[in-house]
Each structure stands twice: as C-alpha cells, then as structure tokens.
A and B are shown apart, each in its own frame.
Chain A
Amino acid sequence: MCKGGGANLRSLFHATMLKTKLAALLLFCSFVCGAVASDETVTRQKLVQAILSSGDEQQKLLSELADDNSKIVHDTLLSWTRDEIYLCETANGGAKIPVLLEEQQDAEGKARAIRIDDGKYLADEKGAELHFDSSDLNTLDTDMRLRSAVQQTLDLLALADPNRDARRDVVQKLGKSQKKQYLPVLQARLGKETDAGVKKAIFVAVATINLGDADPSAKIAAINQLAKLNSIGSLDDLQRAANSQNADVAKSAEAAIKSINGYLSAVNFFGTIFRGISLGSILLVVALGLAITFGLMGIINMAHGEMIAIGAYTCYFVESVFGTGFTFRIVMPFSIGGHAPGFGATIPGLHASGWFYETYFLFAIPLSFVMAALAGLALERTVIQFLYRRPLESLLATWGVSLILQQCFRLVFGANNVQVNSPRWLLGNFTLNDVILGYNRLFVIAFAVLIVIGTWLLLTKTPLGLLIRAVMQNRNMAACMGVRTARVNMLTFAFGSGLAGLAGAFLSQIGNVGPSLGQSYIVDSFMTVVVGGVGNIVGCIYSALGIGTADQVLQQVFGSPVVGKITVLICIILFLQWKPSGLFAARSRSLEG
C-alpha cells in the first residue's frame, strides 16, 4: 500500500489537471484501503488481546469490541461462544496463538488453522500449512461469566445484523433482561430500523423494560402499550404485573391480558384454518392418484402407497446424486463357495453446493412423476390388465405387489429410513400477524392446486382426456367406437401412479422416507376417496379439505392429536352410514352394474 501511494505522489508533479485529479482519486483510495487494512489489523490485535487476557481486563476489552461492527469480530466471538477457538502452541518460544479451524476438512478429518491475529493459515517454519484434528487441539477455557460477557458483546453487535430474524431475537432478549441500560441502544436502533417486524419487537422490548420500572404510572403506560401492540410474548410478564400489589397496575394488566388473549384466539383460529388447509392439501395430493386409479378405473390398488414411496425414494436418489453420490449393493442371503453373490451399482455424485444444490428438488419432482408412472405402467401390463373385471383378485394381487415392492426398497435402500435434506427455500416461514405460514406448507397448497388444475386440464381439454372419460364411462361402447381401450387403461393407470409419485416427492420434504412410507398413507388415501364419492375428482377435493380442517380443529378443541383423529374417524363412519356413496355420488355407467 505504501509503495502504491508513493508512486501516486510522484505522478502528481508531472501530470495534467485531469491526470492530477485521477491520481488524487487513486491516492485517496489507497489511503482508505490502507486505513481499512490497518483497522482490521488493529481489530484483530484487539481480539487476540481479549482472548489471551483474563479477568476485568478481558471484560473491558470485550465491551470495547462491541463498538466495532466488523464481520471478523462477530465471527470470532461467535466461534468463541461455540468453543471453536483453539490455542496452538508454537514450537519456538511456546507462545500461544489463537486459531480457528477451517470448515473444509481433508480426507483424514483434519483442517487448516486460520490465525486470528492476521487471518492467514498457520504454517511451520518452512512455510508449509499445518493441518489439525480438532480433537488434538486445546480449546480456550471459558467460564459462565466470560461466556455471558462474550454473549452480551455479540448481542449488541447483532442489533445491526443484516438478518431481520437475528435482529428481532436479540431485541427480544434485551427487552426480557429488563435492564434500563439498553434503552438508549434500542431507541437508537429504532431510528435506523426499516423492517416492520423488528420495529414492533423494539417497541415491545422498550415497553417490557419500562414494565420493570418502579413507578406505577410508568408501569401502566407500558402495560397499555403492550396491549396495544398485541404482544403474545409478553403474556407472562403481564401475568406477573397482574399479581402486583398496586391495584391500578393489576387492573390494567388484567385488561391487557384479556385483550391479548382475544387476539390470540383470533390468531389460533386463522392458524388452525391454515393448518387444516395444508393437511387437506397433503391428503388431496396423496389421494388424487387413487381417485383416478380406484375412483375412475375401479381398481382397488393396494400398491398405491408404494407408488408414493417410489416418488419419495426418487427424491432421495436425486438428492444423493446432487450430493455425495448413490451406491447400492444387493447381497444374496446364501453363499456359494464361501462368499455371497450379489450385484450393485455406484452413481458418482455431482458434489453440488450452494444454489445449484438447492435446485435438486425441482429436478426431483418431474423425475418422481416419471418413475412412478413407469412403475405403474409395468404394474398395469403385468398384473392389472388381467383383472379389470375382478376387483377382489386385484385387491389381493396388488397387495402382494405392495409387499414385493417394500422388500425391494429394503434391499436397495436399506431397512432404515433414509435422510432427505430439504432445500433451504422450503425451510423457514412467513409470519402474518403472528400466524405462522411455513414455506413448505404454502408450497404443498400451491402444489395441490397445480396438480388439480393439471389433472382437470388433462381430463377435459385434451384428446387423451376425452378417451379416458369415454372408456371409464362405458368400456365396451368405447371399444365399439374404435378406441383402443387397453392402451387408454394403461395410460390412465400410469398417470394415476405418476400423481402418487408427485405426492411422494412432496412427502419426502415433511416426513420420513422409508420402506413402509406407503403404508402410513394408504388408509388415508382410500378414506379421502370414499368420503368424496368414488369416481368423482371434485368430491375428492372437498373431502380432503374437509377431513384436514376437521382434524386440525378437533385437535385444537380436544388438545390431543389422538382424540381429534378418533373423532374424525367416527364422524366419517356416521357420515357413510347416512350417505354410503360419499359426498358426491358418481353417476357413471361403469359402476351401475
């Protein structure tokens, strides 16, 4: 930097005005850069001092660091609270050098050490970078007092964090401490804050701190403020205030609790409706395929659950390929000549990371449709086509297929459940007036809407849809008119199975992926289709949403998931006694006989 500055100085003497200006700019830049660089060195030195010192001096250094809003301070202190700072003793002199270990590990699980004092890799005398195993290094000793001091510094730093959730958490924390010393910090932040959620949190925090005030009128003002803000998180504090000796304070606190509880029940009401719709959407996605294979075609397909599992495993497979790769090996349970025969395959992984990895799910969705549709096609050609007029035999045969498929999953993917990591854009939530709308739940609702629209378009707007409807209404007549019914059956069944595969792809994001995945959804699927009315896709939509909402509402009412579910099932039994053909009775000719 200094050299660069020197060159610029020299050029000042021999240049035209324009050049002078340019050079001055360069000079300025290099000064700023130099200042930043030296600033960072100073910061790093401060950090090392804070780490290596002890007692009150350490506390003082830490509080000084709170003014320094740089990434390096934040990262280092965070590692400190997580016990990820290690002390390396150098061979020469034995001075202790605080280091962080790099996240990237080599094959032996060792990583390079980053020096905190200059940000470079720790090297030996010859300049070769050293690799360490975290278990061989000494962590920095931290006691409770020091930890809380580090944490406090971090909290103050976090007020300016770019992530709004982090800011909100820390604002809440400072408010809960009820320490007046934080009031100016919070007020200062309020001026700069742009996010509405964090602003509300700051108002709540300020009111909570004021609630700790000794003066009753200040207390009452804070209570009224909290009631106005509808702060659910303050209920506990208000309850304490309601037990206070001062009658006025207690009275206004009780009024505030009442008003917040009213707000809370509204939040719960909308939350329950949303959760009901999302559960209904899952039922719908799971049952829609069955509404076609069972409802329209009249096949009691017990292997429907395994079609769902195929979709889920496809999702796992795609995730593995995007990650570390996929290997399977099937070993026969007997041995010939001392070793068991077997076969297997390895598909190398793409080792994708970042946004590319996050897109794996977008590839997995169509692929799971294709895989399940192909499996359905094979099932139709090998088993079901011979059983169209024999529903009981098809029940038994497809149940057998379901057992075979489950065992295949065990052989290829193992008896244990497999890990499917959700893409980051499906995690997290969107909070609207304290009603939590999870991204994965919003996604399933949108997904269900898209699938329903797609199915409707296919059945009503395409030539294939026309043929499907014709064959399902009257197979013989359609055949007389020259429709290749066998082919239409095959395609319809494949389409229904493909829809099940889509359901599986989604289920892999919210639950388990294992060999018995399908078993846990098969009953729900049949229930939805039967309640909706066999042979009627609109009925299936109504029944899925109805069962989902009823389930969530009753869970909320009874406070127990089991009682809620039992009540739903009893209601369904009673309903079917009253209307045996479901919500919407089918009027297709194929079921008249």
Chain B
Amino acid sequence: MKKFIRSFSAVTLAAFTLNAAPVLHAEDTVKVGILHSLSGTMAISETSLRDILLYTFDEINKSGGVMGKKIEPVIVDGASNWPLFAEKAKQLLEEDKVACVFGCWTSVSRKSVLPVFEKDNGLLFYPVQYEGEELSKNIFYTAEAVNQQATPAVDYLLAQGKKKFYLIGTDYVYPQTTNLILFKYLQLHGVPVENIGGGLRKDDSGKVISAGKYTPFGHTDYQQIVSDIKEFAASGDACVINTINGDSNVPFFKEIAAAGLTPASCPVVSFSLAEDELRALPTKDLVGELGCWTYFMSLKSPENKSFLAKWNDWLKTENYPGVVKEKRAVDSPMVLSYDGVYLWKKAVEKAGSFDVDKVRTALESGEINFAGPGGKTTMQANHHTVKNVYIGSTLANGQFKILKTFPEVKGEPFLLKGLDEQLEKKTAAN
C-alpha cells in the first residue's frame, strides 16, 4: 500500500510538472487573475463569470492581445469561503504577480479581499450590482451602483403613478443598504413614510436604521408577509421592491400569484433576478413583473447581437473543462465582466504600461470607454461607470421586454449622505 501511495504521488507530481511546463514563456504573455467561487453555494452564479472571462480573453488574444501580449488567465477558486478569497487574492498578487484581477460576486467576498488589494497595490474589477458606500483606489466597479438600478426603477414606478412602496429583501448588507437609500429617496420624492411598507427599525435616538421586511436566506413560508402586502396594496397604486436573493424568490412569487396580486394591480420589481436566475424560476408566474439592469439579453443593438452570436460560437467549440454548453443565458454581471476586461485593455494601451498606478491614472482620466453589448460604458474618476439603465418586464421565455431606457446614468457610490442632507433641507424648508 505504501508503495502504491508513493508511486501514485510520483505520478501526480509528474502530471503537475507537465501541466506547469508550457506556462514558462513569460515574455509574450501577461498574467491576469480570475477570482471566483467555482465550488460551494455561489458556484452556480460565479462559474458563468469565469466562462465569460475566458471567452473575452480568447477574443482579445485572437485580435492581437493587449499591447501585443497574449492574456494568460490564472484561475483560482474562492470556494464560497470569504477568508479563502483573501488568501487566493494574496496568492494572485504576490506569487503569480498578475497585472489585474477580475472577480468577486458577493459584497462580503469583496470586503474580504479589499485590504489585500490595497496592501499589495493590486487592481480588481468588480462586476455585480452592489450597495455602494465604498470606494477603494484599487477597485474599479463596473457593477451597477444603487443609482444605476434601484433609484431608476423607483423613478419609473413613480412615473407610472405608483404611490405606495413595499420593501422586502433577504437579511444582509445589500438589501438593507439599498432599502435604506430607497426609504430616503422615496421621502425626498414626496412619498410619505406611511406609504412605505414593510416596517421600520429605529435606534435609541429615533433615527431609522433599517426599512422594509427581511427574511433569512432560504426562507420558504411567505404567507403572512404576502397577506401583509395584500392589505398594504388594497388601496391601490402600490408596488413591491424586491431584493430577495436566491431560492426564496420561488415561494415568494408563488404566494404573490396565489394572493391574486397581478403585475397590473401591484407590480414587483426585483433587483436580484436576471436572465441567469430566471432559468431556475417558474417564469409563467412571473410574466409582467419588472426588472432593472444595465444589460438585457433581449437588447436589439448590433453590438449585442454580434456579441451573443460570437459567444454562442465560442461555447460550441470551447473544450475548457466544466464549461456548460447547453441552455446558457447571458446577464448583466457577465456583460459587466466582459466590459471590465475591455476597459482595462484600453487603459493599459493608453498608459502604455501594465503598471497598476499608470493604469489607474488612465482609468481615472474619464477618457476610457467601450461600446459593449449593453451600450457605451465610460469609466469615471470615482471608479464607477457611466452606462445605460434599462427597465424590463419578464416574459414567459425567461427574457425581458425592455420598457424604458435611462441613457448614460453616472454611477455614484455614496448616496446616503447626500440624501440625508437633501432631506434635512427639505424638512427645514417646510
């Protein structure tokens, strides 16, 4: 047995050396990190981002690479384990010495790698809608900020004549922060506090610290909450702002349908349901409900059509292990990853160097833009992008029908402070 183990490890060692061998021609390549969870709970979502990044690198390499150098991906697995994310980030920056990293999905994973990137002066592109209130000199957020998703959706609903808003979400940082921002934003737009449903939580001084109704991850029984919503919506002109994440959306929407709340009488706008998530939901129950993203697969632009065609061709020919080929959907986080790579490429070319400080200066110049599948994306000095925001309604086939476009919305991470000041001014004026 011992002999077997020894010979086995010898074989595996040999295999590893063989694998590592072709990597060593460093002159004509540049290393770029991919830091996503490829196992664990988040793997379902994050594996898609690995796939789209591999596709983007292939596309760039085929057209000559970045400043003549081919991109060489270094893929590490964060395994849905937040401390591990920090370790893997350290490995990418200190051992592999990558020029740039694309990665992270959950806010907690981003918060976990942030100190590592700041210490080692790395560069991270973050592609998933998030709650804002953060700005690191080492992170560029191609993601939707709250004012590129939540507030445009509210603007749309207000324009549709909605007067009552029920806030519901999963109990963690993104829904809590977003709902608190919306609570203030709605008041600023003339919605009285009693017309914002879901309940409030105040601290000792009477300041509202949490607005809306929250359920834990994986919650299944929404009877009581939906009957609360039904009562809230009885007087008409009501809508629901839904930041529930993951699985719980299924029992929630089934209950909404059973209670007779239709999109015509009380629409639900969801911020965590994109095309990829809709593949696992009973879309027939969701027809007509709203979504808000900076990219929809159903966009009719020629850029999007050619992007989708090339992506599907790549899927057919690519043999990278673990890339699922059937029934693939493309959604906003994937496209924002794709945009991120091109923004980085253009910044490197402008800076004429892979040096992080020079690339950052180029990105912050406000001149780096890319006409991606979702429309033109421009990086701003505040590390967030300017891009189009779309409101869509769900169709039975799991796609969105685009109802409204807000062109060139500037991403702004810090909203709470400004809203507080504006609210104070408003109350003082009254």
Contact = CB atoms under 8 A, between A and B. Distances in A.
Q: Categorize the interface residue count of chain A.
A: 35 or more
Contacts of B285: 421-422, 427
Contact of B223 (A173, A232, A279): A279
A441 B258 contact: yes
B366 interface: no
Contact of B260 (A83, A165, A551): A165
Contacts of B224: 272, 275, 552, 555-556, 561
A275 B234 contact: no
Contact of A514 (B213, B247, B279): B247
A521 to B, nearest CB: 9
Interface in B189-226: 199, 213-216, 218-221, 223-225
Nearest to B322: A333
A415 B223 contact: no
A234 interface: yes
A420 interface: yes
Interface in B33-83: 43-44
Interface in B211-268: 213-216, 218-221, 223-225, 227, 230-231, 234-237, 247, 250-251, 254-255, 257-260, 262, 264-265
A436 B235 contact: no
A83 B281 CA distance: 25
Given A271-B227, A512-B250, A561-B224, A421 B284 contact: yes
A562 interface: yes
A428 B258 contact: yes
Contacts of A421: 282, 284-285
Nearest to A553: B224
Interface in B18-43: 43
B367 to A, nearest CB: 33
A432 B149 CA distance: 39
Given A440-B254, A561-B225, A416 B236 contact: no
Q: Categorize the interface residue count of chain B.
A: 35 or more
Given A416-B280, A436-B227, A232 B258 contact: no
B102 to A, nearest CB: 23
Contacts of A169: 262, 264-265
A233 interface: yes
A148 B247 CA distance: 37
Contacts of B231: 232, 264
A474 interface: no
Q: Is the interface of A mostly helix, strand, loop or mixed?
A: helix
Given A422-B254, A436-B259, A512-B247, A416 B279 contact: yes
A315 to B, nearest CB: 12
Nearest to A440: B258
Contacts of B298: 135
Contacts of B280: 416-419, 514
B223 A512 contact: no
Contacts of B230: 436
Nearest to B218: A520
Contacts of A232: 231, 234-235
A554 to B, nearest CB: 10
Contacts of B218: 520
Contacts of A83: 401, 403
Given A135-B300, A415-B44, A511-B251, A233 B234 contact: yes
Contacts of A314: none
A2 to B, nearest CB: 44
B72 to A, nearest CB: 23
Give the residue among B230, B280, B298, B403 with the most A Cβ atoms within 10 A: B280
Contacts of B281: 417, 419
Nearest to A519: B218
Contacts of B227: 268, 271, 275, 436
Contacts of A75: none
B384 to A, nearest CB: 30
Interface in B146-171: 159, 171
Nearest to B260: A429
B44 A416 contact: yes
A279 B254 contact: no
Interface string A461-475: 000000000000000
A542 interface: no
B107 interface: no
Nearest to B222: A561
A520 B220 contact: yes
B112 interface: no
A429 B226 CA distance: 13
Interface string A265-296: 00010011001001100000000000000000
A321 to B, nearest CB: 17
A509 B254 contact: yes
B217 to A, nearest CB: 11
A129 B149 CA distance: 42
A235 interface: yes
Interface in B386-413: 401, 403
Give the residue among A176, A419, A420, A562 with the most B Cβ atoms within 10 A: A419
Contacts of B282: 419-422
A119 B282 CA distance: 33
A438 B221 contact: no
Contacts of B300: 135
Contacts of B247: 417, 512, 514
Contacts of B382: none
A525 B282 CA distance: 26
Contacts of A398: none
A173 B233 CA distance: 13
Contacts of B401: 83
Given A421-B285, A562-B215, A427 B258 contact: yes
B283 interface: yes
Contacts of A422: 254, 282, 285
Nearest to A274: B223
Contact of A173 (B43, B199, B236): B236
Interface in A396-424: 415-422
Contacts of A512: 220, 247, 250-251
B17 to A, nearest CB: 20
Interface string B283-320: 11100000000000010100000000000000000000
Contacts of A427: 257-258, 285
Contacts of B43: 415
A110 to B, nearest CB: 14
Contacts of B283: 419
Interface in A425-439: 427-429, 431, 436, 438-439
Interface in A377-402: none
Contacts of A559: 199
Contact of B254 (A511, A555, A562): A511
A510 interface: yes
Contacts of B279: 416, 419
A172 interface: yes
Interface string A207-248: 000000000000000000000000011111100000000000
A561 B259 contact: no
Contacts of A417: 247, 250, 280-281
Given A511-B254, A514-B247, A233 B235 contact: yes
Nearest to B305: A135
Given A438-B255, A511-B250, 8 more contacts: A173-B236, A235-B235, A415-B43, A428-B258, A436-B260, A438-B258, A560-B214, A561-B221
29 contacts: A83-B403, A176-B237, A232-B235, A234-B235, A272-B224, A278-B223, A416-B44, A417-B250, A417-B281, A418-B280, A419-B280, A419-B282, A421-B285, A422-B285, A427-B258, A427-B285, A428-B258, A429-B260, A431-B260, A436-B227, A438-B258, A510-B251, A520-B218, A552-B223, A559-B199, A560-B213, A561-B215, A561-B219, A561-B225
Interface of B: 43-44, 159, 171, 199, 213-216, 218-221, 223-225, 227, 230-231, 234-237, 247, 250-251, 254-255, 257-260, 262, 264-265, 279-285, 298, 300, 401, 403
